[in-house]
Each structure stands twice: as C-alpha cells, then as structure tokens.
Amino acid sequence: MTFKMRSALAGAGSAALLLGAWGSQYIGGLAPCHLCLVQRWPHAIAVLIALAAVATGQRFLALLGALAALATAIVGIYHTGVERDIFEGPTTCTSGSAGALTPDQMFDQIMNAPLIRCDEVAFEFLSLSMASWNALLSLCLVGVWLWAWRRG
C-alpha cells in the first residue's frame, strides 16, 4: 500500500466519523453539545490534510494528520471524563448571533433553545458513548497516519 493510499484511508476514516456525527444529528435527531462540535473540527482538518497528502505526496502531512486525529481523540477522552463525572465540563454555551433582536425575541429564542449538556450521554453502544467511540477510533486513525508517515 502506498503513502497516498494510506493517507486516503486515514482521511476516509475521519470523513466517516464526521458523516456518522452529522447522521446522528440530522437523521437521528441527536443534537450535539459544545464538546461534540469541538471534536468535529480536527476531523475536518484531517480530511483536508489527507486530500493534500494524496495530491502532493508530501510525507510531513501525515504527521499533521496524526496531530489532528490526536487532537480529536484528546477532546473525546476529556468529553468522556466529563460524561463520567471525572472532569468538570465547560461552563460556556453556544448560540447564534443576537443581532438586532428585540428583548422579547431574544427571550423567546433563549427559552425555546434546546439545552444540550456535555455531561449527559445522548447515545451509548456497547456501554461507550459517542465521545468514547470517537476517542478510540481517532486513536486508531493516529496509528494509520503514523503508518503512512513511517513507510511513506
């Protein structure tokens, strides 16, 4: 297997995890919490890195891909710790821009917004949350990226 094929495999893994996250959100109706959204960004970056690695054949890109996969794995481990009450979760919340909303419109928007907590597990499979699965699979992707780099 060539460097480009291994890089494509790693990028496809991140793309599959992103598609799974979006599918659970838009098809399964599971709204993501703040940490769920943070875990998606490194996967998107890894997909872009994989495209660049396939296009250019530059081995150093595999190290960047491994770092992106490691970043989402670390966030997934932290998120799992928050879900299991090992770590304290973030105190921030996310929202759209208030823009030119009147106070009544802003109050209605706040009252109708779903409350998605990072410390509650929305879905489990084999006793692992989606954050746990993301961490485990992302660590596997780190291995694929390092395999691509080492034998590039």
In a domain, 98, yes or no: no
pLDDT the model gives residue 131: 79
In this predicted structure, the answer to whether residue 62 has a pLDDT above a threshold of 90 is yes
**125 or 138: which leads in pLDDT:** 138
In this predicted structure, the answer to whether residue 96 has a pLDDT above a threshold of 70 is no
The CA-to-CA distance between both ends of the chain, in Å, stands at 10
| Stated pTM of the model | 0.75
In a domain, 36, yes or no: yes
If one counts the domains in the chain, the total is 1
DSSP class per residue in 64-92: HHHHHHHHHHHHHHHHHHHHTTSS-----
10 Å CB burial of residue 14 (0-12, 13-18, 19+) is buried
In a domain, 122, yes or no: yes
In a domain, 97, yes or no: no
Residue 98: band (very low, low, confident or very high) from pLDDT cuts 50, 70, 90 = low
In this predicted structure, the answer to whether residue 95 has a pLDDT above a threshold of 60 is no
- Residue for token digits 């490691």? 70
Q: C-alpha angle 102/103/105, rounded to 5°?
A: 65
Q: Which domain holds residue 61?
A: 3-89+117-150
pLDDT the model gives residue 106: 67
